[in-house]
Amino acid sequence: MDKLVKRACVEVAGFEVLLARFERNISILGRSKRTFDSYSRHVAAMALHFRCLPTQLDPEQVKDYLYFLQQRSRTPSQTYFKHTVYGLRFLLKTEGLPYSFLHLPSIPHVKKLPVILSREEIWAMLKSADLLKHRILIGLLYGCGLRCMEVRNLRIKDLDFDRKLLHIVQSKGKKDRYVPLSEHLIRGIKKYIITDSQTDYLFRGITTQGCAEKKGQYSQRGVQWVVKKVAQKAGILKEVHTHILRHSFATHLLEDGVNIVRVQHLLGHSNIKTTMVYLHVCNLPDRLPQSPLDKVFDMCSGWYNMV
């Protein structure tokens, strides 16, 4: 449990009971543990600020708190602000209260185009990774278009080397999907499994429990650290994070002529509108399609010349 959440459970009357109810209701609604962890931190921060449950506040107190979040630094974090509002909305929903109960503001959707790495930059990252483990990690994030959570959850049993497929199990939206595995990745993964004696999760990291250390599932922070450090070593000036490799996977497939519906399925998007953003960053040939009359002449030129 997060330290902030633990503090709120101890210092704010009724928060522990509210938190247990919040976790149960989020689970029933089909949201992930990660969603609960994120929202509970923001709810706990507000509870500690006022020393009472967020559901006991009036709209003016909520506005004061949101204003406080915006003013506490010269460059206010809109992400933190946004997730505070989302967390409160979810709390109200699970408590059976309307959004208007706390007069929460609407969050405008900021449309930003994804940052894309060139194929040369992908190659530079692969060459700059000193450890085989890190090369395989970057190869999977890009070559299979994986989310950070998906690469962390990969198990050896999910790899089908014979069919050259990777089975992604119960990812975002509780969905399974298959993505193709590169032959280059297969060779590297086989070598990595043998040298690292892996038997369950493909990637493992060191976790600390009290004073003891033991190997467990690779952490999100660990994956992010590897991607950032390897990109820096490769001399890439763009701010590279794990999702940029997924963005690059989708964009490069579209540039190679893969149908957008197929790309949607490979990414695991529920709505094709999410996938269509990559059409705005594709480097597609800028030329008009050929007139269908030209093809008719190409096919029938022999007949035409005979007339």
Which residue numbers are catalytic? 147, 172, 243, 246, 269, 278
The contacts of residue 63 (CB under 8 Å, 6+ apart) are: 103
Output the CA–CA distances (angstroms, integers) from residue 23 to 11, 32, 233, in the order listed: 19, 10, 41
Residue 70: Cβ within 10 Å count: 12
**Are 54 and 46 spatial neighbours (Cβ–Cβ below 8 Å)?**
yes
Q: Is the Cα dihedral 248, 254, 258, 263 positive or negative?
A: positive
Question: How far apart are alpha carbons 234 and 125 in whole angstroms?
Answer: 5
Element (H, E) at 70: helix 59-71
The DSSP symbol for 291 reads P
The secondary element (H helix, E strand) that includes residue 209 is: strand 204-209
From CA 73, how far away is CA 57, in angstroms rounded? 24
Three-state SS sequence of 77-125: CHHHHHHHHHHHHHHHHHCCCCHHHCCCCCCCCCCCCCCCCCHHHHHHH
| H helix or E strand, kind and range, residue 177 | strand 175-180
Residue found by looking up tokens 């050259």 in the block: 164
